[in-house]
Structure 1
Amino acid sequence: MLTVLPIRYVADIEASRSFYTGLGLIFRSEESVPVWAHLAAGAGAVGLHDASVSKGRPAGTVELGFSTDEKLEDVAARLTAAGYAHELVEEDFGRSIRVTDPDGVVVQIQEIDTDTMRRAQSLL
């Protein structure tokens, strides 16, 4: 199942986390590291990503993303069967599939691995 997970690239994780939890989102510390804050909502979530370690995405950028509890290989097989071109990408936080929508916007489907995120954070 996919969960809507837009990614908001921010200049200050703590200030942004405080702002969005003030709006009513719930900080999930078990799914967060210092450069990533996972904030749950009733129907989806928001990921806050430190822009300074985002490989070129400036603060203020937002990407449409989804997280999944399915194996990415199963998602990839479904996309292939439906005729979608896609790419499986190894990320600092786990893996994702990148697929381009009809307007040319890349959408991510993420398999977030918090152990991988923590190892990557220790290398920064």
Structure 2
Amino acid sequence: MLVMPIVYVSDVERSMRFYELLGFKLVRKHRKGRWAELRLGDAKLGLHYLDKLSQSQEQQRVDLGLESQEPLEELQERLIAAGIPLERFVSDEAFGYSLVIRDPDGLHIQINQHDPELYT
């Protein structure tokens, strides 16, 4: 069994382009553009078109956490060059480093790089 979070988006194509900048690859897409399934390594992500989120759906949103193999400073430069605004630049954390962005529909995405020397 594989866990696949589903992100509700207002524009599937725009969201696909955004997540492809983070390294996701398209697995399949609904021919009417209402659904796309992406993969990043062993992880999957569903993009589901929804014209408008209800208030209860907005309150149920979750954050997306990604772990980067690419040095975060390099990723940060790539995101800035692609015009992706950073909510928080690379920061030193208790576990290593992180940076924060938002997807085109405002989903909070924290990208982490763990430092193995900080773990037992």
- Taking structure 2 as the reference length, what is the TM-score of the superposition? 0.44
Q: Name the structure where helix makes up a greater proportion of residues.
A: 1
The higher-RCO structure (CA 8 Å, 6+ apart) is 1
